[in-house]
């Protein structure tokens, strides 16, 4: 009798699980919140996708007439296309993506080269953290449109990646985000030059101070609080177990360098600086300090190529002055600083 009850339980459990899974999978395929289930034709939900990278790629494929592309994470958001256009006398597109690691940037880089026939220059704001974050996001590796530009064997999806994606809480939450956006008719809009109203810079500290400005002592406490929060996140998650510069990330950079050279495109690498206090906190770990020096050495090696210009502000005033007035936290500097860097780069270009 007990055996029959157990068999009945197993039978009904299996039936319930499979039914629930099929319903869930059907919802995923129909809503397709991150554009990672390209089975059905596009529907009303596709306009409200939660995949920002997908939208950037679509924008790049649509807008072909740009001469300059800006690539980077949230540290690159301060490089406004209007400033780039004015200072470098060009027409620029922002491919900045908050939190974007190197596989994401590689896809954007590759799509820009292949779609923008007038492309002459790529401004790449390089982050230290990306050399410890080689794993591509699901919406990058599993989106057919984005993955088209990941022509690297290590970045091809497998069954395990797909299954983890299906059962991830991020994808589950994304369903409700897309439904909510549809109800409110709130699309993620990307302007023709790549800019949008979406930003990853969440610090409450905002400023419009010049490159050489000083922060008032009364505001330093609030800034230091932001810096300490950055340090906790970076030391425990972003830069933890940083035993080497990722070979996969280096490979992607070398492919970008080759791709640019083949297409007669200049790359300007800008090494994103840290606030002095934040950097000092990180360097309490000698391994991080060693990686940081290796990171700079790698880009000095890249700069030996004739089509690559390296701009390194890591020893500039904003990076070594603890009272520099341009910072929102330990990582993000303001638009005025970016303009200053662009002016310095312009001088190098004209030499």
Is residue 1 over pLDDT 60? Answer: no
Residues 252-276 have pLDDT tens digits of 999 999 999 999 999 999 999 999 9
The pLDDT score that the predictor gives to residue 200 is 55
Residues 132-150 have pLDDT tens digits of 989 999 999 999 999 999 9
Residues 181-234 have pLDDT tens digits of 999 998 888 899 999 876 655 555 566 688 889 998 888 999 999 999 999 999
- Chain-wide mean pLDDT for the chain? 91
Q: What is the mean pLDDT of residues 24-30?
A: 93
Domain that holds residue 238: 52-136+191-350
Looking at 188-334, list the stretches that DSSP marks H as alpha helix, in order from N- to C-terminal side: 217-233, 247-262, 276-282, 286-302, 317-320
The pLDDT score that the predictor gives to residue 269 is 98
Q: Which residue has the higher pLDDT, 100 or 312?
A: 312
What is the C-alpha end-to-end distance of the chain, expressed in Å? 90
**Distances in whole angstroms, Cα of residue 1 to Cα of each of 4, 8, 13, 15, 335:** 5, 11, 18, 21, 74
Residues 49-98 have pLDDT tens digits of 999 999 999 999 998 889 999 999 999 999 999 999 999 999 999 999 98
156 assigned to some structural domain:
no
Q: What is the mean pLDDT of residues 275-284?
A: 96
The pLDDT score that the predictor gives to residue 33 is 94
Number of domains in the chain: 1
The pLDDT score that the predictor gives to residue 131 is 97
201 assigned to some structural domain:
yes
Q: What is the mean pLDDT of residues 18-32?
A: 92
Q: What is the mean pLDDT of residues 304-310?
A: 96
The pLDDT score that the predictor gives to residue 350 is 78
Could you give the CA distance from residue 202 to residue 235 in angstroms, rounded to a whole number?
Answer: 19
15 assigned to some structural domain:
no
221 assigned to some structural domain:
yes
Helix/strand/coil for 324: strand
159 assigned to some structural domain:
no
Nearest by Cα to 45 from 187, 189, 169, 140 = 187
Under 8 Å CB-to-CB from 274, ≥6 apart: which residues?
Answer: 128, 282, 319, 330, 331
Q: What is the CATH number of the domain that holds 341?
A: 3.40.50.1110
The percentage of residues in the chain with a pLDDT greater than 70, rounded to a whole number, is 95
The pLDDT score that the predictor gives to residue 133 is 86
Residue written as token pair 């990582």: 331
The pLDDT score that the predictor gives to residue 198 is 67
For residue 266, what are its two tokens?
């200049």
35 assigned to some structural domain:
no
Range scoring the smallest mean pLDDT among 9-13, 67-71, 121-125? 9-13
pLDDT band (50, 70, 90) for residue 16 = confident
247 assigned to some structural domain:
yes
Could you give the CA distance from residue 209 to residue 283 in angstroms, rounded to a whole number?
Answer: 27
The percentage of residues in the chain with a pLDDT greater than 90, rounded to a whole number, is 77
176 assigned to some structural domain:
no
Could you give the CA distance from residue 349 to residue 285 in angstroms, rounded to a whole number?
Answer: 37
């Amino acid at each position: 009798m007990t055996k029959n009850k157990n068999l009945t339980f197993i039978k009904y459990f299996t039936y319930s699980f499979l039914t629930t899974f099929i319903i869930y999978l059907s919802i995923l395929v129909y809503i397709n919140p991150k554009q990672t289930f390209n089975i059905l034709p596009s529907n009303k939900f596709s306009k409200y996708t939660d995949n920002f990278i997908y939208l950037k790629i679509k924008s790049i494929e649509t807008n072909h007439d740009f001469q300059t592309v800006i690539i980077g994470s949230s540290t690159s958001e301060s490089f406004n296309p209007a400033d780039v256009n004015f200072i470098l006398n060009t027409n620029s597109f922002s491919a900045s993506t908050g939190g974007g690691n190197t596989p994401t940037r590689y896809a954007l880089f590759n799509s820009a080269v292949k779609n923008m026939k007038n492309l002459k220059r790529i401004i790449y704001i390089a982050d230290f953290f990306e050399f410890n974050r080689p794993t591509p996001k699901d919406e990058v590796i599993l989106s057919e449109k984005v993955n088209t530009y990941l022509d690297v064997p290590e970045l091809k999806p497998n069954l395990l990646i797909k299954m983890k994606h299906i059962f991830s809480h991020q994808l589950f939450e994304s369903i409700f985000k897309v439904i909510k956006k549809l109800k409110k008719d709130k699309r993620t809009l990307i302007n023709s030059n790549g800019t949008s109203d979406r930003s990853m810079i969440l610090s409450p500290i905002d400023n419009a101070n010049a490159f050489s400005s000083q922060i008032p002592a009364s505001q330093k406490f609030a800034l230091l609080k932001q810096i300490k929060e950055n340090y906790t996140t970076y030391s425990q998650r972003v830069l933890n177990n940083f035993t080497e510069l990722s070979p996969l990330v280096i490979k992607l950079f070398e492919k970008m360098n080759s791709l640019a050279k083949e297409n007669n495109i200049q790359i300007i690498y800008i090494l994103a600086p840290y606030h002095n206090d934040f950097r000092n906190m990180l360097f309490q770990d000698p391994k991080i300090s060693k990686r940081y020096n290796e990171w700079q050495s790698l880009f000095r090696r890249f700069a030996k190529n004739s089509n690559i210009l390296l701009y390194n502000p890591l020893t500039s005033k904003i990076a070594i002055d603890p009272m520099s007035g341009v910072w929102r936290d330990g990582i993000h500097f303001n638009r005025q600083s970016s303009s200053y860097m662009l002016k310095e780069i312009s001088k190098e270009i004209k030499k």
